[in-house]
Structure 1
Amino acid sequence: MARLAGRTAIVTGASRGIGRGVAERLAADGALVAVHYGRDEDAARATVRGVEERGGRAFAFRSDLAAPDAVDVFYAGLDAGLAELGEEPGFDILVNNAGASGSGRVHELSPEVFDRLFAINVKAPLFLIQRGLDRLRDGGRIVNVSSLATRTAFPESVTYAMTKGAVDTMTLALAKELGPRGITVNAVAPGFVATDMNARRRTTPEARAALAAHSVFGRIGDPADIADVVAFLVSDEARWVTGQYLDVSGGSAL
């Protein structure tokens, strides 16, 4: 299927987990995928190789989204990667997937972790969108990765849940702001997905079973479960869907 042929997609945090799954799926649909990563260059290169081995097009570029110059470095790397492929410095799809977690319960919080989570999960997506508006083509797509933690109590990581609540609010506001340009803005909200972010919670069969029990399907999510929904939202078929929060948790917390 090549329904995204001729389009350029950026996926932040695409070196592994949900981001890698999204990058691979959008490339399979015909998009040129810019694979952003923060630290793990080898993993990002592996994502690119996987895309290319399946006949797709991708390139990797780095930006530490917690750094003060994150947005400048991000777009410099993006533009350089596009230029190397002979592409114009514009894009059609932005998937804000990169995120940080691990804040702990309220009595465990520290200002440093609070600031880092808000920098990566909230500040970076907002200013990537702001700076990218002159690059994002009319009719484009923005998908923000939220979390089921904004719809259920999640005291185990209160700051993380707060950041994703901010992402939901941002999604609503920008959907209305960018609608006149034909740009849709939506959020997808995974539950427990088998990624490095929650690996410590899946170290025993009993722990894995406990996470799987959250879903009505009795299993932990896979990155492809999220990537398929993102692929729909960035396609022409979703042209009439904007400002929405899509629960992709496998029926968790029903």
Structure 2
Amino acid sequence: MSTQNLPVATPIALITGGSRGLGRSMALKLAERGVDVILTYRTAEQEARDVAAQLEARGRKASVLPLDVGRSDGFPAFAEAVRAELARVWKRDRFDILVNNAGSGTRAAFIETTEAQFDEMLNVHLKGPFFLTQKLLPLMADGGRILNVSSGLARYTFPGSSAYAVMKGGVEVLTRYLARELGPRRISVNVVAPGGIETDFGGGVMRDDTLKQMVASQTALGRVGVPDDIGGLVAALLAPESQWMTGQRIEATGGFFL
């Protein structure tokens, strides 16, 4: 029987930390390209539901689930919740795209960084994506996509960011290993590394005028970033035309500290 006229299933993306900032922009930009979205939140449930409503207003299906990426003991239950949502909303048992975006920041000089701060960064930014991806792989479609979120701080240095940046460096190494090991399933895995973006991240530090001026002065494109700079790039990186790229780091800093 010919399959030429069979409908193509709408791609489904799962974005962690999709209630605000970069995750919100990623969800909206993917929706503009015809992708349905499962987005997670840790505390900002209403904001997440507002994003879902905006996705639905664009003609897309959306689902909202709670998740603390710093608590790996909750991942098995989360995977079951994803399975249930796929069946309830989409009548499917697989999703196509995983974006490991959720995170938090800490600012402390190396000499003053506590074990508690280090462990928080480890759990949220490295252990979390490692084991969450592991738990979700049985629900991912072959030929799917994984995009991890790193930081420009894994390339350049900014005093006070050592614990955070070390974990992002680990995520970049993890990306290459995932790309190699998941290749037999045709799952491509890449990592995007944003620079300074005007969001609530780190207490909204990039909204400080003095810091913004300093960053802009060292940036080739002459300004700090905004969420849609990253959301648009992520949507492009996850487009079908980019499937052949895997194991790559894509920096999006506007040319900071070139």
Per the alignment, residue 13 of structure 2 pairs with 9
Q: Return closer, same or farther for 1:137/1:200 CA change in 2, 3 Å cut-off.
A: closer
Per the alignment, residue 190 of structure 1 pairs with 194
Map residues 117-136 of structure 1 onto 2, 5 A cutoff. Answer: 117-136=121-140
Q: Return closer, same or farther for 1:192/1:16 CA change in 2, 3 Å cut-off.
A: same
* Long gaps (5+) in structure 2: 1-7
Per the alignment, residue 32 of structure 1 pairs with 36
Aligned amino acid, residue 161 of structure 1: A
Alignment RMSD: 1.7
Q: Distance in 1 between matches of 2:245 and 2:136?
A: 21
Q: Return closer, same or farther for 1:70/1:8 CA change in 2, 3 Å cut-off.
A: same
Per-residue Cα deviation, 1:182-238 (whole angstroms, up to 9, x for no partner): 110000000001110145434543332223223211111111111122112222111
Q: Return closer, same or farther for 1:201/1:68 CA change in 2, 3 Å cut-off.
A: closer
Structure 1 residues 153-162 or 186-195, which shifts more?
A: 153-162
Asked whether 1:179 is paired with 2:187, we answer no
Q: Distance in 2 between matches of 1:136 and 1:204?
A: 40
Count of aligned residue pairs for this structure pair:
251
Give how far 1:134 is off: 1.5
- Tell me the secondary structure at the aligned position of residue 252 of structure 1: coil
1:62 to 53, 60, 66: 66
1:45 to 46, 49, 70: 49
Native 8 Å contact 2:71 2:128 kept in 1? no
* Identity over aligned pairs, percent: 39
Per the alignment, residue 98 of structure 1 pairs with 102
1:108 to 90, 106, 112: 112
Give how far 1:68 is off: 4.1
Structure 1 residues 19-28 or 71-80, which shifts more?
A: 71-80
Q: Return closer, same or farther for 1:175/1:227 CA change in 2, 3 Å cut-off.
A: same
Native 8 Å contact 2:196 2:206 kept in 1? no
Give how far 1:74 is off: 2.1
Q: Distance in 1 between matches of 2:77 and 2:107?
A: 26
Per-residue Cα deviation, 1:156-188 (whole angstroms, up to 9, x for no partner): 111000000000000011111111211100000
Per the alignment, residue 249 of structure 1 pairs with 253
Give how far 1:140 is off: 0.4
* Long gaps (5+) in structure 1: none
Q: Distance in 1 between matches of 2:244 and 2:136?
A: 22
Q: Distance in 2 between matches of 1:158 and 1:238?
A: 32
Give how far 1:253 is off: 1.0
Q: Distance in 2 between matches of 1:164 and 1:204?
A: 23
Asked whether 1:227 is paired with 2:231, we answer yes
Per the alignment, residue 174 of structure 2 pairs with 170
Q: Distance in 1 between matches of 2:222 and 2:176?
A: 31
2:91 to 60, 82, 87: 87
Q: Distance in 2 between matches of 1:83 and 1:5?
A: 14
- Tell me the secondary structure at the aligned position of residue 224 of structure 1: helix
Per-residue Cα deviation, 1:57-100 (whole angstroms, up to 9, x for no partner): 21110011222423123213322322331432311000000112
TM-score where L is the length of structure 2 = 0.92
Q: Return closer, same or farther for 1:89/1:159 CA change in 2, 3 Å cut-off.
A: same
